[in-house]
Structure 1
Amino acid sequence: MRAVTVTPGVPDSLRLTDNWPEPAAEEGAIVVEALAVGVCGTDHEIIGGHYGQAPPGQQRLVLGHESLGRVLEDPSGTLHPGDLVVGIVRHPDPVPCPNCAVDEWDMCRNGRYTEHGIKGLPGFARDRWRVQPKFAVGLDPVLAPVGMLLEPASVVAKAWDHIDRIGSRAEWKPHTALVTGAGPIGLLAALLATQRELSVHVLDRPITGPKPDLVRALGATYHTGTVQELDLEPDLVVECTGAPSVVLDSMCKVGPAGIVCLTGVSSGGRTLDFDAGALNRALVLENNVVFGSVNANRRHWEQAATALARADQSWLNSLITRRVPVGEYAQAYSPTGDDIKVVLDFTA
């Protein structure tokens, strides 16, 4: 069986193995044939040796957390052979913490959770994998070409779920949303914003190329430049870049009683000359909320599946800028400046 693996902590140890063992029965009752996995920045960090943890007793970690597969067998009866399925990435910690105990594993309090292809669980970049029924999400057949987008879409669905919950603290009827960053997370955030019939604005750097066109195809407005240069006062901001200056500008730009959701992860070691006191004053006096959001629980995966099935499928297909056969795996993990979403294809 083929599998794409790394030795965590060892840079550039990416390999395609042809004799990887079949998935152990302990991984789950549902047996799945891999169709594709998406590639994201987390994979690049793991390949660079900056992150990642192999399963207990193993030296190598199977990559791939943005899964798409087809059910081969399911003795539990949850799904049926031929069904499209994705595997939920995070599993609750064994203690468990109060949140994991009620299946809110995305909000784990003690950090002992595990994640497929990232931390302590084998990933989905292998010809066959297993999953427990609790962590298997069936997909509408219409999503066969793009189902691997469900993982990033689940992150966005969680962000919107929490925005809605925070907004319910008062009478709040948002009209204008700003999304900073037009990568996969930003574009999917914009998609869900348009499905909420908001006036959507997306900010990124490219002037030409696919990103401006993808934003406009949603009926949203594309901007370049800085957040502070925008001639609008958004009711909410979904920040998807992690760039420190964009993060701070987003906090300053949002309107009264506004909400800023941070989904981008900043790298450390960079300082900015910034008036933190003025920001504190604005946040307090305008009743603004800034919060971070990462990962997702089953509720969000199901919300994401519904959102993707409602979307224009040709638009979703346009997010995938490269489909690379698994035999040419190294190309999939070699980023180019034009990539939005790269997919490793196990069917080619």
Structure 2
Amino acid sequence: MICLLYRAAGPSGGKDEGVRAVTVKPGVANSLSLAEDQPEPAPEEGAVLVEALAVGICGTDHEIIAGDYGEAPPGADRLVIGHESLGRVLEDPSGTLQPGDLVAGIVRHPDPVPCTNCAVGEWDMCRNGQYTEHGIKALPGFARDRWRIEPEFAVQLDPVLAQVGVLLEPTSVVAKAWDHIERIGHRAEWRPQTVLVTGAGPIGLLAALLGTQRGLTVHVLDRATDGPKPELVAGLGATYHAVPVNDLPFEPDVVIECTGAPTVVLDVMCKAAPTGIVCLAGVSSGGRSIDFDAGALNRALVLENNVVFGSVNANRRHWTMAAQALARADQVWLSSLITRRVPVNRYADAYTAGPDDIKVVLEFAS
């Protein structure tokens, strides 16, 4: 269980002991290691000093560990990973937050130019790709005992989320998806009733949660026929399906596609109801060709006024929406999404995927 207490920082904001940090050498496969005696986070990283409670692990982390991508901060050869954070404030000289406040750190920061979108706080819609991201691109991540961040990138959480606040980052992603779905929907009179979510991983399940919070009829499709996924979907009052998309006996008004599987992506675009909206939230790996009738797809999209769009990342507005959604949710259900909690001294186990994993969390405080 995550400790609910916090320790006050010393006069300089530091501690006697060194900082443990999970790091990789970007671009080098299987370079994951736990550094036991790292320096305290530099004040230049931000005014708010935070004691890490936990970090969540997702497919992005596994891809970085595999050497597929990742970028160390300028002048460094290793990257501290971890972008799904939960911590407690130790100090904030700005007075924005108080010691003991529960917080998560926003992952993406705007580019330095800035582009049109980053200039107004919409760094999730960055137009030139020069943004930075904690634990992914040019900013140290949150998988370390203590980290710093500027107040405007720290999101305060309701104390009720002390055990599950680490889910905030993935929830922010689907909060953005729903925000954009609703903005697109209001191009005309819009009264959606049925939602299809494809993929019952953390993103899919959280997308389904936000759908049920909107009072919609939610269906979740996944390949698994046993394990925790069907029960988690039932716990939302949603309906679980383990059949091909084309075998579903309904046409959804809204689809949130979270698998990135090419055949599923194409099938849901064809399955949506007239004036339907399909949000692509899963990322395909590429390198695979599929024969399909592009003309028929074009005809359906045009004649039925359907919309297909992609969505990734989130800005602060979406992080706030996500925090509110999690605070309203059944905390027992949210806890059940976290299928493994692993102490940091067993970090390698946390980054080794298990067959029934939904969300694995690496815990720093105990």
TM bucket, shorter chain: over 0.9
What residue in structure 2 maps to residue 232 of structure 1?
A: 250
Matched letter for residue 224 of structure 2 = P
Q: How does 1:1-348 map to 2 (within 5 A)?
A: 1-348=19-366
SS in 2 for 1:137: strand
**Which segments of 5 or more consecutive residues in structure 2 lack a partner in the other structure?**
1-18
In structure 1, the residue corresponding to 2:225 is in which secondary structure? coil
Partner Cα separation in structure 1 for residue 22 and residue 252 of structure 2: 43
Pairwise CA distance, 1:207 = 1.0
SS at match of 1:19: strand
- Distance of 1:195 and 1:318 partners within structure 2: 18
Q: Distance in 2 between matches of 1:24 and 1:105?
A: 24
Distance 2:310 2:95 in 1: 37
CA drift of 1:95 comes to 0.3
Q: Distance in 2 between matches of 1:289 and 1:182?
A: 23
Q: Give me the whole-angstrom Cα distance separating, in 1, the residues matched to 2:232 and 2:217.
A: 16
Q: In structure 1, what is the equivalent of residue 8 of structure 2?
A: none
Displacement of 1:31: 0.3
What does the per-residue CA deviation read over 1:84-139, in whole Å, with 9 as the maximum and x for residues that have no partner? 00000000000000000000000000000000000000000000000101100000
CA drift of 1:259 comes to 0.1
Amino acid at match of 1:237: V
Aligned with 2:129: secondary structure? coil
Shift of 1:67: 0.2
Number of residue equivalences: 348
Offset at 1:19?
A: 1.0
Shift of 1:273: 1.0
- Aligned residue for 1:304, secondary structure, equals helix
Alpha-carbon separation, structure 2, partners of 1:278 and 1:246: 16
**Separation (CA, whole Å) in 2 of partners of 1:121 and 1:50:** 17
1:303 shift after superposition:
0.1
Q: Aligned with 1:151: secondary structure?
A: helix
The CA deviation string for residues 179-233 of structure 1, in whole angstroms up to 9 with x for no partner, is 0000000000000000000000000011111100000010000001111000011
2:51 and 2:215 map into 1 onto residues whose CA distance is 37
Between the aligned partners of 2:340 and 2:354, the Cα distance in structure 1 is 10
Displacement of 1:336: 1.1
Q: CA separation in 2, counterparts of 1:156 and 1:139?
A: 17
Partner secondary structure for residue 162 of structure 1: helix
1:343 aligned partner, one-letter code: V
CA shift, 1:337, in A, is 1.3
SS of corresponding position for 2:127: coil
